[in-house]
Structure 1
Amino acid sequence: MLKDAIDLAAVKRVLVIKLRHHGDVLLTSPVFSVLKQHAPHAELDALVYHDTRDMITQHPAVSRVFTIDRQWKKLGMFGQLKAELALLARLRGRHYDLVVHLTEHKRGAWLTRLLKPRWAVARSGNYGKLFAKSFSHRYPVVAGNRRHTVELHLDALRRIGIQPGPDERALTLVPGANAEAVAGARLTALGLEPQRYILIHPTSRWLFKTWPVQHMASLIDALTARGEQVLLTAAPDPAELAMLEQIQQKLARPVASLAGQLTLKELAAVIDQARLFVGMDSVPMHMAAALQTPTVALFGPSGDIEWGPWKVPHRVLTEPLSCRPCGRDGCGGGKVSECLTLIGSERVLAAIDDVLAEVGA
């Protein structure tokens, strides 16, 4: 038995802090589900960066989502201080009993000290005395691509006495009625029917994690040659849109595209209606897993055990090189990852067929 387990009956409000990228925030969603299952009386709040909020808003277990806008830095010293103090006042007004801090970000340590919860849990590690003394509980992190990020997040709850059940660990992402309506209209305009198209998201915010343009074009041509409907998506980032343009120029037959045209919630709704998702290690891949859309994912420098599709029918394609996953921005820093370029389009096509056969789609 854990000697310093917390008393969940005494926990009325919880703040979960995750100041990272979109995918990282989405992978915290089981933390809220598990907390609500084990402490149904408690109100659960989230603190995330403003641009990542759509990954957690409308989660049925989340009461409030507070955000830190990275654009506050542009307000000048006094403008930023005013915004920070206003956030702190709102957080203090919630009177948290428990803070769950899911990164090593020192802002979480400062906030925990200022909010003064009865209990606070954060990861172990050499992050300095301020960090170490800010939390009542600390949990070890298993590094080296040996444990999925979802489980690493849930280790914070295990450390305070909550043991998640196997059926409590699914991702949760809610597109919302407005996004679903917009997505439906856009799909209809393109002549695409729900559960009939394959959605391919060829890009990532880090382009060294993407498959070569010619490989992707070859895969799309193989799919359209046999009559599959393909829809392309990408973020509205100039580099990602340029990559989409290069792919489209190499296609033997044109395919539908909503690249750069969707909000995150609308993208979620479009992924939710897809027959299959194909993409890289990216936010949309995690969104597909959360929405239970069968997935084929290509992994190069990043760790597939740590970041792979979570609890969804899927195939992960990697190249068995001794150096991967290295986490580097291409081989030798050259922005091109050989562990991706060596994956042939025929392997990806076979993986697509395997998943579709598995789910009977």
Structure 2
Amino acid sequence: MDARPEAPIRRILAVNFGGLGDAILFFPTLQTLRRHYPHAHITVLCEPRCREIMERQYLVDQVITADVKASADPQLFVQLVMQLRQLDLDLAISSGRSPLVPLLLFLSGAHRRVGFSPNRLGFLLTDRVPLKLRQYTGDMHHDLLKGIGIDEPAPLPRFPLSDLALEWAYAWLERQNLSASPGPIFIHPGASKMSVTRGIEKTWTAPQWQLMLEGLRQRGLPLILAGGPDDEELLAGIPTGAGVVRAKTETLEQLAALIAVSRLVIGSDSAALNIAVAVGTPLVGLFGPSDPDKVLPPDHPEFCAVHVAGLACRPCLWITRQTTCAALTCLNSLGPEPIWAAVDRLLETSALPASIGAAGPVNA
């Protein structure tokens, strides 16, 4: 593998196609790039749904979006290539595994092009990095930097929050009479509607969530039940009562701010868990078909995964299957008791994040 080039790297393209969660898991790569190349101009190419979260990143100078579904349109592909060529790139890296990735990087005109191998068009890359799937995705993306000679542990993702967003979150808690220390429990039961349309189920049904909520309410814990537009149908089926407040956020930063000022997050495998990691809030994640080792960083007990133990067929998603099965044994056989136990354990050792917006272990 080539050592880091002697020629200065002044203009960088970082490509990450995926959802909000995957965008957050790409943050460590951007953080390290910015630290090694503090004066470089960094452009991120991502899907339109990730524009807001990437523009929130102080690490990024420019955001370009492209609909990957439209990549088969030759005219749109050519337009994208011409836009990238105008950047006069010294370095381009991409987390994608499609054969189109090396082609896009090659046509961008970047002098140095880094991607994963194996890939059918990998010969178009100047530096190929072996793909190691069975690890935390933030670490997997960060492996790309080995292609330019940066071989160091990945930091945890960081989600920078503005003072305005935090002020909004604290004011919201005050209005809901939830501002008393040590803070509420933030519950985000939903998963993306895009996943559901693709035949991927990663969360409980409304009655299962209702049962879990009832156990927490009996403990006298203040609860926030939250979700976005994709979650309205699921949330409508979860009755709320005393001790449970519904939250509706207008922006992704507001969602992140509420998570940051909460004592604990409970949720399914969705971007909410990635945000919790990125703002340093302890969490309990509900996992069915997906692999928690890819979603949550290792050696951080404050980020706790709950799943059915001893079920040979899980995790299956993106490993042996591209969609979930009809039986969904991994979700249907998982009761609320392990979540209650995990919540009790974390509440004994955690308080509000010690440093909001700076991900890392929360001081006990």
User: Would you call these one fold, judging by a TM-score over 0.5?
Assistant: yes
How far does residue 215 in structure 1 lie from its aligned partner after superposition?
2.7
Matched, 1:199 2:186: yes
Q: Quick one: structure 1 residues 288 and 310, their matched pair in 2 at CA, closer, same or farther if it must change by over 3 Å?
A: farther
Which of these residues, 14, 23, 27, is aligned with residue 25 of structure 1? Answer: 23
176-185 or 349-358: bigger deviation: 176-185
How far does residue 182 in structure 1 lie from its aligned partner after superposition?
4.3
Q: What does 1:1-361 align with in structure 2 at a 5 Å threshold?
A: 4-7=2-5, 10-69=8-67, 81=75, 87-126=80-119, 128=120, 131-143=121-133, 146-165=134-153, 169-193=155-179, 196-205=183-192, 206=195, 208-237=201-230, 240-248=231-239, 251=240, 253=242, 255-259=244-248, 261-309=249-297, 313-320=302-309, 321-327=311-317, 328=321, 333-334=325-326, 337-360=328-351
Q: Quick one: structure 1 residues 69 and 176, their matched pair in 2 at CA, closer, same or farther if it must change by over 3 Å?
A: farther
Could you tell me which residue of structure 1 aligns to residue 361 of structure 2?
Answer: none
1: CA distance, partners of 2:43 / 2:216:
44
Normalized per residue, the structure richer in helix is 1
Tell me if the contact between 2:16 and 2:94 (Cα under 8 Å) persists in the aligned partners.
Answer: yes
Q: Gaps spanning 5+ residues in structure 2: where?
A: 353-364
Amino acid at match of 1:22: L
2: CA distance, partners of 1:265 / 1:8:
39
Amino acid at match of 2:237: Q
Q: Gaps spanning 5+ residues in structure 1: where?
A: none
How far does residue 267 in structure 1 lie from its aligned partner after superposition?
0.8
Amino acid at match of 1:172: R
Q: Quick one: structure 1 residues 72 and 138, their matched pair in 2 at CA, closer, same or farther if it must change by over 3 Å?
A: closer
Amino acid at match of 1:314: F
Deviations 1:121-179 (A, max 9, x none): 101124x3xx2232101111123xx21111111111113210124xx511021243554
How far does residue 304 in structure 1 lie from its aligned partner after superposition?
1.2
How far does residue 192 in structure 1 lie from its aligned partner after superposition?
2.6
Name the SS for the 1:267 alignment partner.
Answer: helix
Q: Quick one: structure 1 residues 330 and 97, their matched pair in 2 at CA, closer, same or farther if it must change by over 3 Å?
A: closer
How far does residue 38 in structure 1 lie from its aligned partner after superposition?
2.2
Amino acid at match of 1:306: K
Tell me if the contact between 1:124 and 1:139 (Cα under 8 Å) persists in the aligned partners.
Answer: yes
Q: Quick one: structure 1 residues 211 and 310, their matched pair in 2 at CA, closer, same or farther if it must change by over 3 Å?
A: farther
How far does residue 70 in structure 1 lie from its aligned partner after superposition?
6.3
How far does residue 280 in structure 1 lie from its aligned partner after superposition?
0.9
Name the SS for the 2:337 alignment partner.
Answer: helix
How far does residue 104 in structure 1 lie from its aligned partner after superposition?
1.7
Tell me if the contact between 1:119 and 1:136 (Cα under 8 Å) persists in the aligned partners.
Answer: yes
Deviations 1:29-57 (A, max 9, x none): 01111112223332222111111123322
Superposition TM-score, scaled by structure 1 size: 0.84
2: CA distance, partners of 1:8 / 1:17:
23
Q: How many residues align?
A: 339
Q: State the Cα RMSD in Å.
A: 2.7
Tell me if the contact between 1:112 and 1:135 (Cα under 8 Å) persists in the aligned partners.
Answer: yes
